[in-house]
Amino acid sequence: MCECHPTRRGLLGLTLGAAGASLLSIPAQAKEVTALAITCIDYRLVDDTVRFFHTRQLFRDYDQVSLAGAALAGVSPKFPSSNAAFWDHVGIAKQLHNIRKVVVVDHRDCGAYKVAFGEDFQGDGMAEAAQHKAVMEQVQAKLAELHPDLSYEAYLMTVDGEAERLV
């Protein structure tokens, strides 16, 4: 048989391939998720933050954005492009996945806080927690203004993965 004429098997393969390719171009229905998780970029806490969200019954039920400083990224005048990214992603997650809350996880010994606060950085204990809480409350106020329909939770994580809710 001449190789220039397709066989039935060849035509069947082409047909199935074309059908498969057309299915790939059909967009998947976007899933609603409960929360947008905003975490710091710190490599030391990647696994711990995933575990944290799983313990909050949010396994595969959250979008995640990592920005230096987490809550700080939303309000610090030192990071204006991060401010825009923070709030853009809240709006995007709300639009695409109908989120109902924003969960921010800051952590102790955060380099972004050291950069933003310089000599005023409160690097340990209660003073550090109070500094994080003040920033988290600023985020809470701005969220209430921009997206009053979303709830908010804010946590402070230690570098060994333990987290406590501050707001």
Domains, the chain, in order of start with CATH, read: 35-165 (3.40.1050.10)
Residue listed under structure tokens 């391939």: 17
Q: What CA–CA distance (Å, rounded) separates 156 from 58?
A: 18
| pLDDT tens per residue across span 92-133 | 999 999 999 999 999 999 999 999 999 999 988 999 999 999
31 is written with which tokens? 């899933």
Give the single-character DSSP code of 98: -
| pLDDT tens per residue across span 121-130 | 998 899 999 9
Amino acid letter at 132?
H
Q: What is the pTM of this model?
A: 0.81
So what's the pLDDT on residue 31? 85
| pLDDT tens per residue across span 44-66 | 999 999 999 999 999 999 999 99
93 is written with which tokens? 């997650």
